[in-house]
Structure 1
Amino acid sequence: MNTPATEPRTLAEEILRGVGGAGNIESLTHCATRLRFQLHDGGKVDKAALDRLDGVMGTVAQSGDRFQIVVGGAVANLYAKIMDLPSMSGGGTARPKSDADVKAEMRARSRGRFAWVDNFFEYLSDSFRPLMGVLLGSSLIIAIASVLDALGVVDFRAADKSATWVFVDAMWRSVLYFLPIMVAYNAAKKLRIDPWVGAAVMAAVMTPNFTGMLNKDSGIPGVTCTTNQTLGTQECVAHVFGLPMQLNDYGGQVFVPLLMVAVLALVYKGLQRVFPENVHMVFVPFFSMLIMIPVTAFLIGPLGVWAGNGLGEGLSWLNNNAPIVFAIMIPLIYPFLVPLGLHWPLNALMLQNISTLGYDFIQGPMGAWNFACFGATAGVLLLSVRHREKEMRQTATGALAAGLFGGISEPSLYGIHLRFKRIYPRMLVGCLVGGVIVGVMGGVDTNAFAFTSLLTIPVFDPKVTYVIAIAAAFFTSMALVVLSDFRTKEDRAQVNAERDAAEADARGEGAPAEERELATVGAASAAAGTVRAAGTGASATATDGPVVQLGAPVSGRVTGLDEVPDPVFASRALGEGVAIEPVDGRVVAPVAGELVTVAQTGHAFGIRTPEGVEVLVHVGIDTVKMKGEGFDVRAESGAKVAAGDLLVEVDLDAVRAAKHPTLTLMTVTNTADLASVEPHAGQDVAAGAPVVTVRR
């Protein structure tokens, strides 16, 4: 008995196959929602097959043979399953390269227009991504403490708090204060140098020995401190080796370690070329620290603080001078930054603001974007429940839970929003509404780095403004998605038809796969489950209503549906109509109207006339199995066509060679809604000659 495709083990094997096998994997890592592959050859990836897998929310190809697969919260377990596969016992295969190969690869990569952009943001994101868990943990500790403060259990901001609450402070401050060391470790690892050297260099300027010099009463010779009367801040300078060194508290800084490690990587790799390999362990870390600790303390540290403060002050200026513009801008740009991974610099600025200003003003308006995103997901969930879409319901449920309680938007974005283009415009309206409310009501601040979820609402101030803004953003997006659907009308009919067929199959009433496919195509005009053929009985009740003549889509001999060797058409499940044995492969539109459906394989077309007649043209029997071979499609879905316009040219010999009947069928899929549908069989006709009379 085969294991179901949704089993983690089978999914792991399918993913491995989709990326080209274990031999094509150089390395594999994961983040909170994605598997991140470094491949030998990105061209071997079967992206379409991966996108079709149950459990895969989306895929993202990147430059440099990098490839991401979005799977949501189960990523850690799936990663472990992949790494446990026998073929992955080595954890990936090193890329065998000659010197010429390496040089050619570097030249090729340098020619890529956006490779350097990808590399820059990969550096930023990989330096922060592994810390998301502890950042989320610390933000929830702050949220709990804030709730207790709001309930009057403890004065969270009092200067004389008890040892218990001082200890609670330490629990969350540990992450934010020592963040530079953690970032330095990850950044060094990303640049493939000893991560502990990066951490040690950053830790040197955060030791009590170093920070102790910041106290003007420390009494340390060579340290002078002055007070800026305008800003009310204290500035200290230490004279080290006779040189002035500006002192800063680097706790919570993020730009400093990012700049430092970028320089450290050059020094470290340069030293590796200088010293013999057998002494690398001793001399490379030694000289790296000897060089980089002073460079960081004298130059990079002050420069990083200045750069971070400058960016923060620039946004602060905009927030103070044009708060409405700022509050609207942030939630409107985030939906485009996050999918590309370009939001990391703003996350760094949030941390920088908390470190230097004691609060952050970006996260408040950013919450409008997050909750607009989650609201759109909630709308998709409601619709999937209404329409009994099991897979989409499961996807939306998981994505909504990750968003509302974890503040993570990637499952919603990759699993739903980027797959359905109708969602983004509606979500942006929610972002706009939330941003306007934040701006008009004076902005929202927070003194903690918090994932914008329901659990972190207490850390925002004023809470009332924040709650109103995120609620408005959430319910606006949700309502717009529910009212207008995330699928087009044609797509909705098609999906519902597939659902009905699957449910019938589960009850033992299902038709073969080809018959279900026919019902799906016909459902682009009307759900197959509601279509009933009127047959000759309808003709007997014909009225004097509007008449629509349907021409023959091909030249040939016309027969009735009773003679069609296909039970779906013969039973009129797809409506009354005719069958034509074609004499050539030119298939034309039988009537003027909108081309609402064009099968990707080119074998089926759906047309809706201005009078509301819905027509299905199907070329051959079981020709879906040809996967488009022999079909030269000449029309596009959504186009307006006139009677006689060419739809597709078919190689009839290829159809016969594939052992499929060439019989071309034309039915009126909404026969049950019409007064009569009268086929005219038993004649030889040219394409365009009247073969069906329809009365409204």
Structure 2
Amino acid sequence: MNTHAQSPDKLAEKILRGVGGPENIESLTHCATRLRFQLHDGGKADQAALDALDGVMGTVPQSGDRLQIVVGGGVANVYSDIMSLPAMRGSGARPPSDAEVKAAMRAKSRGRFAWLDNFFEYLSDSFRPLMGVLLGASLIIAITSVLEAFGLIDTRATDKSSTWVFVDAMWRSVLFFLPIMVAYNASKKLRVDPWLGAAVMAAMMTPNYMSMLGSSSEVPGVSCTTNETLGSEQCVAKVFGLTMQLNDYGGQVFVPLAMVALLALLYRGLQRLIPENVQLVFVPFFSMLIMIPITAFLIGPMGIWAGNGLGSGLAWLNSNAPIVFAILIPMLYPFLVPLGLHWPLNALMLQNISTIGDDFIQGPMGAWNFACFGATAGVLLLSIRHREKEMRQTATGALAAGLFGGVSEPSLYGIHLRFKRIYPRMLVGCLVGGVIVGLLGGVDTEVFAFTSLLTIPVFSPMVTYGIAITAAFFTAMVLVYFSDYRSPEERAQANAERDADERAARDDSAAADVREPLAVGAATAAVGGSGASAGSPVAAGAPAPGEGIVLAAPVAGRVIGLDEVADPFFASRVLGEGVGIEPANGHVVSPVDGELVTAAVTGHSFGIRTKDGVQVLVHIGLDTVQMNGEGFDVRVEPGQQVFVGDLLAEVDLDAVHAAQHSTITLMTVTNTAYLASVEAHTGQDVTVGAPVVIVRR
């Protein structure tokens, strides 16, 4: 098969036609060498046409209308070319984004409670796309905080100039309209028309709705009362003869998150009930007709009631058990902020300042904020240590916004909610800071302030506050740094991807005929491999040393041909010529001297490159990647030099059998097509290190 790729655009178009067009694609992802299609109808894929394409190394249909197309090391580019085609942008297909692919990979290390993982993913994916504007707005806040700290402006003055009113609008645009943005992203996450979710939430933020708020409203049927505890005004209106609570939903996120979750159920139900040819009109129509009143009458008020009830309860707690209050506030905030339930507490803070002259909430709250920033600092240090460019940029911006602007959202939505290991460590920092505030008698402030480095002087006693936030910051930072925000498996995977990216960048400067086989061989470890086809197996009998490059048996056992292997990728030689070995034990060693290009974190495969450019794949078992490393004890790391007989992994074969996977261990030469011959010697029982394959260049 000719593996020299044609024009990328033409290849992408031909692959798209070969799988039945964009309308036949339910989802599309890619791994290191393969395009992975989930099709609506697998029978529409033209496998013969796809196999004949230059640049396609092989195709394998799978159950459930799934189709894998082996492209090799350039798969990411082909994937991008397909996704960039106008037909894909205009189709109803919804291939997952890179973030969703990574989320799927993180799902391999899910915790005990799937619902909790799903909840955090829902939160994370609803906020992650907003990171840019959140960081931008928070940095504007940070600049104004610096100016206010030096007495150059007063952001709370009632007679601010039009200039500073406009500056306020520059950052308030993000926080005020955050509910609409969150509704849009949450709808995309749940596969609902995102503009529909945004429109439902926007109904409660229009000038028409806002005109009913406040006792000064001239709209008939509106009446208002004052909440004595919170010092806030609550208004209701008669709508269709029913009483509807009116609220300012600016900055609220609990309401859009809850609304979209219910909208998704309604949306799918309407799609099943309404004929497809009129869904474009009537699905949005009935969705809006039903969800806007439900949100206004029920979901919205529920979010506000929850926040107001919490504020009243905390005021009582501070009066009766202040030390408990000082500890509880920083422990609660990490859960209130992501849901937007902390906003009523801001009203309580302002009420305290206006009625009793100072506030008791902001001091303990500072312990939470600085624990949050400390966790971000730990992530930043790790990103520098592990050369994670994207995370370094995110953490740097989030930390600057936090330390100088007192804004936690960039850290929460951009980092902490994405990596569930951070929260427990951050909570320890919150606890330490809260305990210090409680034991030392509490902290008050006479002004409403973002808890940043610049506002430390407004808290009293300042020394108590400084000790508490410092302890909270460094506790969280140290815990995150030394235990990592990724699990060991996630760290190994991330580092392997980083190394592969760095290696690929270095390889870009090499000649194409050298880079292509390396990229194919290097990719095999993470996904079960790919490579070239065709070889020349011969009858049993050990190859004579000195005649070509000898590959030793990586494991003791019975040697069989690839035709006997129950895996279409290996049997078809898509992964190159080689042998299978029915292992006698789980002691797996290197079959050659060379560089360990890749070692899968799951321990199921290893890619080795010899000094002569031979790419060797050692693959332990079939479909054992699904075991997620259980039963595999990896003894090597990518990038190190290995020699014949060096231990690669110890494998618990009983565990593999218990997981109902074959233990057959395969060794193939993934760049067979670039070599004169690859001779496999089968039908023999061998010990570790016995010659089983000979390669001639």
Greater Rg over alpha carbons, structure: 1
TM-score interval (norm. to shorter): 0.3 to 0.5
TM-score normalised by structure 1 residue count: 0.47
TM-score normalised by structure 2 residue count: 0.47
Larger RCO, structures 1/2 (Cα 8 Å, 6+ apart): 2
